[in-house]
Amino acid sequence: MANLEASLKEALTAIEGSIGAAVVDYTSGMALGTVGGGKELDLTVAAAANTDVVRAKVRAMELLGLKDEIEDILITLGSQYHLIRPLPGRAGAGLFFYLALDKGRSNLAMARHQLRKIGQELTV
């Protein structure tokens, strides 16, 4: 099991094309931890804004009566991918991993696979 800081560092260094990563509490919109980002990507703002995305999808699933779980949410921009992955289990309840990737330097399938693995090993 990895702690928050180690998991965030692994996401930034092990996932090709990573720009920044955060673990976010979607009930409050607060980032529990961030790594990377910079002038072009304020991870604190991204964490709060993507909380609304997660809440909207959870609400839509409730309205549709879908009895399923979100694996991940993908937002595709012109030059970036933004991946949102709710953390599994009771320890991760209400938390999600947010990862921003450079579209030209990343492999989306591998990034999804690696982020799932990192999320499963994270202890909060």
The contacts of residue 6 (CB under 8 Å, 6+ apart) are none
Quick: pLDDT tens for 64-88: 999 999 999 999 999 999 999 999 7
Which tens digits make up the pLDDT trace of 14-54?
Answer: 999 999 999 999 889 999 999 999 888 999 999 999 999 99
pLDDT tens for each residue of 105-114: 999 999 999 9
Confidence of residue 90 (pLDDT cuts 50, 70, 90): low
Whether the pLDDT of residue 89 is over 70: the answer is no
Q: What percent of the chain has pLDDT over 70?
A: 96
Closest to 95 measured CA to CA, from 57, 51, 62: 51
Least confident window among 4-18, 61-75, 90-104? 90-104
Give domain 4-121's CATH architecture.
2-Layer Sandwich (3.30)
Residues 6+ apart with CB under 8 A from 47: 22, 24, 29, 30, 31, 34, 98
